[in-house]
Amino acid sequence: MRLFVAVNLPETERQAAFDAAAPLRHGGLPVKWVQPAGLHVTLKFLGEVAEDRAAAIGAALDSAVATARPFEVTLGGVGAFPSSARPRVIWLGAEIHPALELLANDVEKALQPFGFEAELRPFRPHVTLGRAKQGTRAGAFRAFEALAGRVAYDGVAPVASVDLMESTLHPEGATYHVRHQSFLGGGR
């Protein structure tokens, strides 16, 4: 199964972000857009993992976040990786909050004994709004900057848990299922 670790946004925040991003979705960009239920902040992508390892990974995440206290992260601003001229990912920004960086680092350390390699790139928290379609021609994103400027969104997301997510790929996009939820501070 295909797994990743994420901070899921509350339903109201997911819908508000999705609604605010309408100018991008209606701008004719060659992008496969993420549906509201799929909006989250990825902390660590694990890839293909044997199903019998999920419980142990969940327990490691429980330990990793047991002493962390819940906090809030602000959301806003739109950008693209690697660039707005030739994006692969279009995203909504998430605050580079020290507690979120520590949480990502704790998750990274907790999963190293399972053989997951450490991420070499700096942690750039974001919510993926869409991914560019394969084979997109040069110049297809000329309107991106103007469209992004029309997205007016400032949100706040509580961070009270870290979720082990299963991703199932379909032609119309991925669907996500929470396999395990680890509550910050050991709470519920």
DSSP strands (E only) in 95-160: 126-132, 154-159
CA distance 100 to 119: 15
Q: What is the DSSP letter of 82?
A: S
Taking the CA of residue 10 as centre, how many other CA atoms within 13 Å lie in the half-sphere pointing to its CB?
A: 12
The verdict on whether 26 is a catalytic residue reads no
The verdict on whether 177 is a catalytic residue reads no
3-class secondary structure, 14: helix
Taking the CA of residue 137 as centre, how many other CA atoms within 13 Å lie in the half-sphere pointing to its CB?
A: 2
The residue annotated as part of the active site, out of 40, 97, 170, 177, is 40
Nearest-10 Cα torsion for 28, 135, 86, 95:
80
| In contact, 124 and 49? CB cutoff 8 Å | no
**Cα dihedral sign for 171, 174, 177, 180?**
positive
The residue annotated as part of the active site, out of 126, 170, 177, 180, is 126
CB within 8 Å of 22: residues ≥ 6 apart: none
Q: Which residues are catalytic?
A: 40, 126
